[in-house]
A and B are shown apart, each in its own frame.
Chain A
Amino acid sequence: MSHAVAGKNYLNESSGLWSWLTTLDHKRIGIMYFVSVMFFFLIGGIMALLLRLELFSSNAQEGISFLSSLPNVIKGDANPADLYNRIMTYHGAIMVFMVIVPGIPAILGNFFLPLQIGAKDVAFPRLNLLSWYCLMAGAIMAFATLFLNKVDTGWTFYTPYSIRTGASVVLMVLAVFIMGMSSILTGLNFIVTVHKLRCPGMTMYRIPLFVWALYSTAIIQVLATPILAITLLLLAMERVFGIGIFDPKLGGDPVLFQHFFWFYSHPAVYIMILPAMGVISELMTTFTKKTIFGYTAIAYSSLGIAAVSFFVWGHHLFVSGQSEVAGIVFSFLTMLVGVPTAIKMFNWLATMYRGSIEFTAPMLYALGFLFLFAIGGVTGIMLAVVPVDVHFHDTYFVVAHFHYVMVGGTLMSIMGGFYYWFPKMFGKMYNMTMAIWSWVFIFIGFNVTFFPQFILGAKGMPRRYFDYIPEYEQLNRISTIGSWLIATGFVIGLIAMIRAITKGEKAPDNPWGGKTLEWTTSTPPPHDNFTNEPTVTAGPYEYK
Chain B
Amino acid sequence: MSTSRIVNGVEVATHYKDDTHQYLSNKEGIWLFMATEILMFGGLFIGYIIYHTMYPEMFAEGAKYLDWKLGFVNTLVLIFSSFTMALGIYFNQKNQPKKAVMALGATVLCGAIFMVIKYFEYTHKFHLGIYPGQMLNLEMVKPVHQNLGLYFGFYFCMSGLHGLHVLIGMCLITWVMIRNIRGDFHSNYYTPIEGVGIFWHIIDLIWIFLFPLLYLVG
Contacts and interface: CB of A to CB of B under 8 A. Distances in A.
Interface in A10-58: 24-25
A421 to B, nearest CB: 21
Contacts of B37: 226
Contacts of B161: 233
Which of A114, A119, A189, A238 has the most chain B CB within a 10 Å cutoff?
A238
Contacts of B156: 241, 243
B36 A250 contact: no
A192 B25 contact: yes
B183 interface: no
B6 interface: no
A460 interface: no
Contacts of A184: 36
A247 B133 contact: yes
B190 interface: no
Nearest to A197: B15
A222 interface: yes
A242 B133 contact: yes
Interface in A181-226: 184, 188-189, 191-192, 195-197, 222-223, 225-226
B134 A222 contact: no
A250 B29 contact: no
A251 B28 contact: no
A149 to B, nearest CB: 21
Contact of A244 (B13, B35, B132): B132
Contacts of B157: 234, 237, 243, 245
Contact of A230 (B28, B40, B50): B40
B28 A192 contact: yes
Contacts of B178: none
B149 interface: yes
Nearest to A124: B29
B1 A256 contact: no
B214 to A, nearest CB: 14
B32 A250 contact: no
Q: Which size bracket describes the interface of B in this complex?
A: 35 or more
B25 A231 contact: no
B147 A192 contact: no
DSSP class of A's interface residues: helix, strand, loop or mixed?
helix
B1 A121 contact: yes
Nearest to B32: A188
B21 A196 contact: yes
A254 interface: no
A191 B134 contact: no
Given A242-B132, A245-B47, A121 B15 contact: yes
Contacts of A24: 1-2
Nearest to A224: B39
B122 to A, nearest CB: 13
A528 interface: yes
A192 B16 CA distance: 12
B3 A252 contact: no
Interface in B114-159: 131-135, 146-147, 149-150, 153-154, 156-157
Nearest to B29: A192
A195 B21 CA distance: 11
B134 A244 contact: yes
B73 interface: no
A250 B40 contact: no
A120 B44 CA distance: 40
A123 interface: yes
Nearest to A200: B17
A1 interface: yes
Contacts of A260: 43, 47
Contacts of B132: 237, 241-244
Contacts of B134: 241-242, 244, 247, 249-250
Interface of B: 1-3, 13-16, 21, 24-26, 28-29, 32-33, 35-37, 39-44, 47, 50-51, 55, 58, 131-135, 146-147, 149-150, 153-154, 156-157, 161
Given A196-B28, A230-B40, A251-B55, 5 more contacts: A195-B28, A243-B153, A250-B149, A256-B47, A528-B1
29 contacts: A1-B3, A24-B2, A25-B1, A120-B1, A122-B15, A125-B15, A127-B29, A191-B32, A195-B25, A196-B21, A196-B24, A196-B25, A223-B35, A226-B40, A227-B40, A227-B43, A229-B40, A230-B41, A231-B43, A234-B43, A238-B133, A241-B156, A243-B133, A247-B133, A250-B149, A251-B149, A252-B51, A252-B153, A260-B47
